[in-house]
């Protein structure tokens, strides 16, 4: 009788050897862990993508608001925008 038949017979009789049962348990744990890692990785990637999209939208909205509401011929306008750049960079790192 070949090995596949033996395993099938044992499964039918529900008399798996302790070693085989332990292997099944280990494989099941490994698969569950792997699936959880995949899920967590996908979730983190989605969070990053949505956060970046939201921040980019907010920054564009802030810049548009500043352009519309700042004094048009202010000599310090570029200086103000330069001081906001580190703030934008810091926010993107969150």
Q: Would you state the pLDDT for residue 12?
A: 57
Kindly state whether residue 51 falls inside one of the protein's structural domains. yes
pTM score: 0.49
Kindly state whether residue 77 falls inside one of the protein's structural domains. yes
Kindly state whether residue 5 falls inside one of the protein's structural domains. no
Q: Would you state the pLDDT for residue 51?
A: 85
**Which stretches in the chain have pLDDT values below 70?**
1-16, 92-94
Q: CA-CA distance, 47 to 51, in Å (whole number)?
A: 6
Q: Would you state the pLDDT for residue 67?
A: 78
Kindly state whether residue 67 falls inside one of the protein's structural domains. yes
**Exposed e or buried b per residue across 62-82, where buried means at least 16 C-beta atoms within 10 angstroms of its C-beta:** eeeeeeeeeeeeeeeeeeeee
User: What range does the domain containing 30 cover?
Assistant: 17-92
What 3-state class would DSSP assign to 76? Answer: coil
Q: Are 59 and 88 in contact (CB under 8 A)?
A: yes
Q: Would you state the pLDDT for residue 57?
A: 87
Kindly state whether residue 1 falls inside one of the protein's structural domains. no
Q: How many domains does the chain have?
A: 1
Q: CA-CA distance, 31 to 52, in Å (whole number)?
A: 32
């Amino acid at each position: 009788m070949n090995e596949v038949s033996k395993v099938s017979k044992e499964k039918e009789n529900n008399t798996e050897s302790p070693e085989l049962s332990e292997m099944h348990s280990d494989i099941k744990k490994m698969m569950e862990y792997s699936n959880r890692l995949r899920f967590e990785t996908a979730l983190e990637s989605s969070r990053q993508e949505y956060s970046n999209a939201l921040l980019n939208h907010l920054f564009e909205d802030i810049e548009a608001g500043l352009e519309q509401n700042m004094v048009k011929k202010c000599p310090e306008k570029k200086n103000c925008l330069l001081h906001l750049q580190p703030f934008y960079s810091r926010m993107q790192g969150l």
